[in-house]
Amino acid sequence: MTKTKVLRTMFSAPDMLLCMGAYDALSARLAEQAGFNCIYLGGFAAATSMLGVPDLGILTLPEMADHIRRIAAVTTKPIIADADNGHGNAVNTARTIAMFEAAGASGIHMEDQVLPKKCGHVAGKVLVPTEDMINKLKAAQQARSDKDFVIIVRTDAIAVDGLDAAIDRAKRYADAGADALFLDAPESMEHLDRIGKELASTGKPLVFNAASTGKTPEISVEQCRAFGFHVILYPIEPLLAAMDGAKAVMKAVLETGELTSVRHRMANFTQIKNAVGFPEAEALDIAFPMTK
């Protein structure tokens, strides 16, 4: 079964789909080894880890496609990738789908912001007209070469025009054929309750962004299920953990000149060797040695 078919099957299955965010190839390996069945590549984590820049539309389409390609090479799990706003109009969107498919993504989410976009959990977002977004969705549908490639449509309207407008947009995107719906940055339990209840009639899976930003209430997987969500994204949590751990190590070296106080927060050399496949590589080297 192809990765795209696997992802589409998981979207239609009754179980909650937990998608762990990876910011590089190592974190993708760790997510698979931990037991996650889906890898999520968000734009915030990609821009931060690859370029050290904010998620404000700076990361380009080729850079994101290369990011997907590197991660797809080290995981057997399907990848959902952040396609921003399709990187432009319908023509750009078609190219985005083609490049993401070729790079190894099994699905994307695409938002209804203007170019350049902003991170969904920061202020100052501007939306395109609903009809323009529907046209980009149609272009994306036409561009995919694999009918199982999943297209999630995201609206950022909650922060711009309010929840009513966001729900209205989501319903129109569902009617236009979106495979799943993603209303980013709901601000209360009431928002979450209304999203689940008012979009249930669309029959589309609902995506919840569990990003640790403080914008959206932190809820459990079971609470997500009760609200009617089917897919949960954890976009930046491994990145936040890595940042905190790295800062602690650096601080310890500068202040004390040793690592004893932070050693418990660090993996050992054997663990990281195992994570990236040293035992398998060494076995191959022994089995097929070079003569000189």
Residues carrying an active site annotation:
40, 55, 82, 84, 109, 111, 119, 154, 187, 209
Residue 274 CA to residue 242 CA, distance in Å, equals: 18
How large is the angle between the packed helices 163-175 and 189-199, nearest 10 degrees?
Answer: 30
Neighbours of 52 (CB within 10 A): 7
Residue 277 CA to residue 66 CA, distance in Å, equals: 22
Whole-Å CA distances, 162 to 17, 185, 186, 288? 27, 11, 10, 63
Neighbours of 288 (CB within 10 A): 7
Say if CB 176 and CB 138 are below 8 A apart.
Answer: yes
